[in-house]
Structure 1
Amino acid sequence: MKIRNKLTLLYSLLSAGVLLVFALFFYLSFANDQKDEFYNQIKQHAITKVYFLFDLNIKPEVLQTIYANNTRRVINEEVAIYDESYRLIYHDAENKDIVKETPQLLDSIVKNSEIRYKYNNYYVTAFTLTHSNKTYIITAAAIDRYGEEKLNTILEYLAIAFCLSLLLIVVAGRFSAEQALKPVSDMVENVEEITASNLDSRINVGSGKDELAELAITFNEMLNRLEKSFNAQKEFVSNIAHEVRTPLSTIITELELSSNKPRSIEQYQQTIRLTLKDAQTLAKLTTSLLDLAKASYDPTQISFKALRIDEILLDAKHQLEKQAPSYHITIDFTEIPDGEDEITISGNNYLLQVAFTNVMENACKFSEDQSCEVKISYQNNHAIIDFIDHGTGISDEDLHKIFIPFYRGQNKNHSSGHGIGMALSQRIINLHHGEISVFSILGSGTRFEVKLPHV
């Protein structure tokens, strides 16, 4: 069931329920007042007959004749009068005897002074009355035909009014639901028009003050993130295709050339060395891409534990020097804090090693002496790691793009690479809620500063 139908149904049911409760309350209140009024009226008629009998000395036969010919509102009113000894003094229709006054009933009347009840279609009131220093027991019964007709008429009017009101409620509910959900319908139309080719389109937020506007704003923010991610993905895929194609093309070319005609062992060995070098380049590129993808995961999908910064740096140093024996890396522990907690962070050991290795490798590649100096310090609840080289430095133009994936600066001819290392390091540091900054003077060297919150 659609939401507008649910809202219409809910609105109609609630309104109909309130209306029905009001109608029932009105009907029952009116019926109760009508009943009390009728009881009082037949009681007053009975008292009047007492005065007719004892004060005006009207004969009982006359009163019985009036009873037999009564066609007004009180129909078939039957009055019986007893004295204190339970002796019948007067009865409108003794042969009919609607109330059937038994000694037990007369005792109850004397005890309670007055009782009221309904017997079949008759309203019965029985009470004691003191007149001329004598106490009488009086019963009166009558059918309220006029009152019942009036109640039936009111019930019919209420039923008709309820049905008409229910119809109006359904129409009003439908209209209200349509108006309330119109912004949602407009939003759906806007969303249906958004495709991969026009991710820059946005939803109209309207007044910007209600819940639907908040939803539209949230959706637009999501579109901003998707557009940014989609554009980055397109650029990423384009760069990957280019970077992977180059070593693959070189490998294919070298193998095709070596297979065209017989060659000497030295030539085959030379081809194997070149092919192996390109394959190693491709393998390193693949590993970097996998690490870059892993660094983009949701942090909840990566295991974190307490780690010491100095131990991770030493592991990264040994790993890099094993891969490139010509690199020289020194770690300065003189400013390391005394407290172990100040250099202990919550992180992933493998990813942090990858990040530190990339920064160290970048420093060594662009240094004349292929060296990198690492310093550890502590400041404002953060562990600080500085990576310093005295190489060629980075120009201002390249400095702002150094963390862009696959971007290589003006000094790309100085050393091989794919432009992934620094972008990967930044993502890993961000994944650990840290910051990485770069400071460089062209011709004087570069310093990378990494800040990581300790546990």
Structure 2
Amino acid sequence: MNLKQRFSFIFSSLFSVLLATVTLTVYLLFAHFRQDEFSALMAEKAQTTAKLLIEVKEIDYKMQKIIDSNSINKLYKENTQIYNEDYKLIYNSNDTQTVDLTHTDLDQIKKEHRIFKKDEQYDILGLYYTYDCKHYYVVVSAEDTYDNNKLNYLKYLLFGAFIIGTAVVWLLSFSLSKKALQPLDNFRKRIQKITDSNLKVRLSEAKREDEINALAHSFNQMMDRIDNAYNRQKEFTGNASHELRTPVARVAAQIENLIRRPDLDYVIRTNLISIFEDTFQLSEIISSLVALADINSSEHQFSFTRIRLDELVFNVVAGLSKVFPDFKLKFEIENNTGITAEPEIAGDETLLKIALLNLFKNAYIYSDNHALECLIRQGDQGIDLLITNTGAVPKIDDTATLFTAFYRGSNIGNIAGSGIGLSIVKRVLEYHKAHVIYNIIDQNTNQVHLSFYPLKDG
């Protein structure tokens, strides 16, 4: 559950609880008011009947029944009963609706002077009446259908208001929270565009002074600091790499010239060859650092040209053959497009040459026979480059880890290396929107699979 949903859920739940409490309170207060009003009406009826029947001598029981049956304030299913102090029923206004009262009920009336209770059907009011030193129990029962109908109507009305109000608030809360927090969604989309090669992205700041605008301002300040630090680090790496590349290349050339001398002692030649290989590896590391600086350089972006992948492979192999004379390559091109087309891709030739140099060198060093197979496969979805060798395979669950900087597989043995070659390969291919995958296709066979998107015309 995201922030918008959590905020809307909490707010809507609190409103629902509050609205339910208000509606329940209104219903209970009205029910209590209705009961008090009806009991007051029954008490008035009891008082009137008692006065007429007990205090007025001219009115007998028959006349009182006539009065009760024709009263303008007659209640629904009304019945009035009067008991004397000996608990004997002396008057019943409706013989068909007698409410049976026990001595205990009448004693309760005598004790409390006035009671009101409900049974399954009737509301019952008992009144203790005293006249001329005589005591009477006046009991009025009736069914409050009119007020019960009003109470039921109020119940359904409040329930409907609760359902509609809750639904409206839930819809509005989710809608308003989505609208109110829309700037955060925009921030998230903008932040997702930030990469190490695109640190200039900034969040838009509004003129209003609120928490979201303050967050955007603080984030932009943080990005400014990160961008400045990253540029200083990138500038140092680029300058140092360029400064180191020239003297290392000069040293390598001088060692190569010495190795070619025919009068050179065998031991010295062997040592010079070893030094030359180390110098070549150092040159590769420096070239990789330069490549990283070029990838991160804004001036280097979008400088892609059309490159024939087969020619790029031949150039890399030719350079490696000078360092490793026993390097052997089996090369094939497979065209599955149905049309005659050159294996061309779009990219930066220098960077791609560094990536392929690392891949071919690794494949050569870690092979058991110094022989490689290279296949360029053209298809409708793009061009694949597959480099295969035989040799020990690394013991690793996730082969993508091999492309992590400074990680070296379990099959390195005594082979020297820096552990950054494959990470450079991954960075270069990501820069070209290409993919690289390492596969173990057999228990003693390694394969690196590169996928390039098809070249767009124009």
Q: What's the counterpart of residue 3 of structure 1?
A: 3
Unaligned runs of 5+ in 2: 290-458
| Residue correspondence of structure 1 range 80-119 to structure 2 within 5 A | 80-94=81-95, 96-98=97-99, 100-119=100-119
Do the aligned partners of 1:79 and 1:91 also contact (CA within 8 Å) in 2? yes
Do the aligned partners of 1:73 and 1:146 also contact (CA within 8 Å) in 2? no
The separation in 2 between residues aligned to 1:74 and 1:96, in whole angstroms, is: 13
The separation in 2 between residues aligned to 1:53 and 1:251, in whole angstroms, is: 135
Classify the secondary structure of the residue corresponding to 1:75: coil
1:60 offset after TM fit, Å? 1.6
Do the aligned partners of 2:55 and 2:131 also contact (CA within 8 Å) in 1? no
Normalised to the residue count of structure 2, the TM-score between the two structures is 0.54
Do the aligned partners of 1:258 and 1:268 also contact (CA within 8 Å) in 2? no
The separation in 1 between residues aligned to 2:74 and 2:162, in whole angstroms, is: 30
Q: What's the counterpart of residue 61 of structure 1?
A: 62
The separation in 2 between residues aligned to 1:201 and 1:208, in whole angstroms, is: 21
Q: What's the counterpart of residue 147 of structure 1?
A: 147
Q: What's the counterpart of residue 79 of structure 2?
A: 78
The separation in 1 between residues aligned to 2:83 and 2:230, in whole angstroms, is: 102
| Residue correspondence of structure 1 range 44-443 to structure 2 within 5 A | 44-56=44-56, 57-65=58-66, 67=68, 74-94=75-95, 96-98=97-99, 100-207=100-207, 209-263=209-263
Which deviates more from structure 2 when the two are superposed, residues 110-119 or residues 84-93? 84-93
Unaligned runs of 5+ in 1: 290-455
Normalised to the residue count of structure 1, the TM-score between the two structures is 0.54
1:71 offset after TM fit, Å? 8.7
- Supply the AA of the counterpart residue of 2:213: A
- Supply the AA of the counterpart residue of 2:61: P
Do the aligned partners of 2:68 and 2:74 also contact (CA within 8 Å) in 1? no
Q: What's the counterpart of residue 353 of structure 2?
A: none
Do the aligned partners of 1:73 and 1:145 also contact (CA within 8 Å) in 2? no
Do the aligned partners of 1:78 and 1:142 also contact (CA within 8 Å) in 2? yes
1:126 offset after TM fit, Å? 1.3
The separation in 2 between residues aligned to 1:67 and 1:234, in whole angstroms, is: 105
The separation in 1 between residues aligned to 2:162 and 2:102, in whole angstroms, is: 46
1:257 offset after TM fit, Å? 1.2
Question: Identity across aligned pairs (percent)?
Answer: 28
Classify the secondary structure of the residue corresponding to 1:206: coil
Do the aligned partners of 1:16 and 1:166 also contact (CA within 8 Å) in 2? yes
The separation in 1 between residues aligned to 2:27 and 2:264, in whole angstroms, is: 114
The separation in 2 between residues aligned to 1:128 and 1:70, in whole angstroms, is: 23
Classify the secondary structure of the residue corresponding to 1:127: strand
Do the aligned partners of 1:67 and 1:76 also contact (CA within 8 Å) in 2? no
Do the aligned partners of 2:46 and 2:127 also contact (CA within 8 Å) in 1? no
Classify the secondary structure of the residue corresponding to 2:77: strand
The separation in 2 between residues aligned to 1:73 and 1:222, in whole angstroms, is: 83
The separation in 2 between residues aligned to 1:262 and 1:212, in whole angstroms, is: 76
The separation in 1 between residues aligned to 2:67 and 2:74, in whole angstroms, is: 14
Is 1:25 aligned to residue 62 of structure 2? no
The separation in 2 between residues aligned to 1:247 and 1:132, in whole angstroms, is: 134
- Supply the AA of the counterpart residue of 2:19: L
C-alpha spacing 1:248/1:50, structure 2 compared with 1 (3 Å): same
Deviations 1:113-172 (A, max 9, x none): 222211112111212122234322222211100010111111222223223323332343
1:179 offset after TM fit, Å? 3.0
Do the aligned partners of 2:84 and 2:136 also contact (CA within 8 Å) in 1? yes
1:222 offset after TM fit, Å? 2.4
Query: Over aligned residue pairs, what C-alpha RMSD do you find?
Result: 3.5
How many correspondences in the alignment? 282
